Amino acid sequence: MIFSSSLWHFCILSLLLSYGVLQTSELTSAHHYRTGYHFQPRRNWMNDPNGPLIYKGIYHLFYQYNPRGTGAGYRHIVWAHSTSTDLINWIPHNDAIYPSETFDINGCWSGSVTILPGGKPAIFYTGVNSQNEQAQNLAFPRNLSDPFLKEWVKIPQNPLISATPANHINASSFRDPSTAWLGPDHRWRLIVGSRKGKTGLAILYRSRDFLKWTKAKHPLHSTKENGMWECPDFFPVSKTKLLGLDTSATGPNVKHVFKVSLDNTKKEYYTTGTYNVEKDIYIPDKGSVESDNSGLRYDYGKFYASKTFFDSAKNRRILWGWINESSSVKGDINKGWSGLQAVPRTVLLDKSGKELVQWPIVELEKLRTKHVKLPNIVLKEGSLHRVLGVTPAQAVVEITFEISDLKKAEVFDPSWTDPQTLCSKKGASVKGGLGPFGLLVLASKGLKENTAVFYRIFKSQNNKYKYVVLMCSDQSRSSLNQDNDMITYGTFVNVDPVHEKLSLRSLIDHSIVESFGGLGKACITARVYPKLTVDGDTRLYIFNYGNESVEITGDVWSMKTAKMN
């Protein structure tokens, strides 16, 4: 008998319930926590986004997936595959790449897609062989006339790029090939993440035919004391236009971005800088570093192993990122799934030229439904305003805050160099001068559970006309389930409250809160699992616990559920 996947899933859940492995309340919670418009498979473990691309008008997302359970299962990991016409609604296909050969029998790990001349896609991925050595392999579509690219063929020459004692590369730290780019000499380049001792490396390779690859004498970029570099991403951004660029673009109006995922800390950092085409080396701007506190990150919360691609149909660069869990291993087993993807974001260079700005893709607005317009409201000291008329567990909030008098701002202590620690010390319940003010989302009646996303404004110790803006995502009260990770996140936002209104956009989706501050200059993503709202009584508030009134305006929308796999 052939079962449909839905019926099979129902049968498994029924058996777990009958044997007492799952309780009915846990099943209800698992359903309640399921997201409505963030990408995730029907079940099991998901991690890195792999090789996103557009081909013949169809968007493709490949991703690391364990078909055997909710744990990482790296020996069984495959490239799962879904397609879309709008990056919001997705159709699943059979796995594109899976362990089948001696060079990848212990896992088909992360990689990228490059569009070759003539529009032919090529997957470069890390395979783990029978000796648990990592090497880089190549696959092509079986049928280029198929816009869904359902079948892929691994070439017989694999592996194309290997770690050997002769090239002084550790075969256990050699993975995640980037999208390749063409240089002015018509040779391809790509980078592979690695390390030498504690130094993180982006090892550079060159090729004329995309088959024979030669290691360069020096890495594209490296940094001491970073440890293993995973999922390196290297791409150009325009200094003059609000458009994305093809990965091979260079020129006087182009800067480059280098992003790396640090295996040691599970954090990501990006730098902006200059790509010296003649010397094949990347030079970060002065002060642009891959380190805590002073380093720039796409996202200061749950966000890792990110990957960008150039959307040639709309001339934009789009960022995907894996959002991992805050629930326990047992919690993941009870849910039947682990991990999802952030909403795709457009990436542009800020007008300052020193950092990036990110914004959810415009297609997300297709899911908007019930709308509440927030009139000009003055939130006085200690006030709380409940937002009614939308579904607060699946919504988008866009709000601006304006403060007419900045005199009550607390003095900023120069020793406060770590914004995450500062947010933990001065959480949402700690009254301040200017702030905290912001949102209480996924909140229960009586606020026993809530996730706070908010701002605080401080004034400089040495310059009374200069201010520091802190953005926080406080999960310390997000759940009564103490097995969950309820860490508080934070970052400083490069905005001037004297001349700019503070904006906040939060995407609320059952167990995820994805927030964008300063019109996309800072992003914080949280995973939260409140227990008191599973019966549907979820609430949304705007609050001001500071000593100075704050004027707000904004919009709130309920969001429809996307068609997801």
- Amino acid of residue 103: F
DSSP letters spanning 284-300: EPTT--SSTTTSB-S-S
Quote the percentage of the chain above a pLDDT of 70: 94
pLDDT of 3 above 60: no
Q: State residue 404's pLDDT score.
A: 85
By DSSP bridging, strand 434-443 and strand 539-544 are antiparallel
Query: What are the structural domains of the chain?
Result: 41-360 (2.115.10.20), 362-559 (2.60.120.560)
DSSP 8-state class, residue 536: S
For 176, list phi and psi in degrees, rounded to 5.
Answer: 70, 65
Tokens of 528: 């939260």
pTM listed for this prediction: 0.93
Q: How many CA atoms lie within 13 A of 102 on its CB side?
A: 5
pLDDT of 11 above 60: no
By DSSP bridging, strand 451-459 and strand 410-411 are parallel
Across 369-383, average pLDDT: 94
Distance between CA 320 and CA 305 in Å, rounded?
9
Distance between CA 249 and CA 179 in Å, rounded?
13
pLDDT of 226-283, one tens digit each? Answer: 999 999 999 999 999 999 999 999 999 999 999 999 999 999 999 999 999 999 999 9
Catalytic residues: 48
Q: State residue 31's pLDDT score.
A: 79
DSSP letters spanning 511-561: SEEEEEEGGGTEEEEEE---STTTTS--EEEEEE-BSS-EEEEEEEEEEPP
| CB count in 10 Å sphere of residue 145 | 6
Across 153-170, average pLDDT: 92
Distance between CA 481 and CA 475 in Å, rounded?
12
**What is the pLDDT confidence band of residue 422, given thresholds at 50, 70 and 90?**
very high
Tokens of 328: 């326990």
Write down the residue that tokens 């730098």 correspond to.
271
pLDDT of 332-369, one tens digit each? Answer: 999 999 999 999 999 999 999 999 999 999 999 999 99
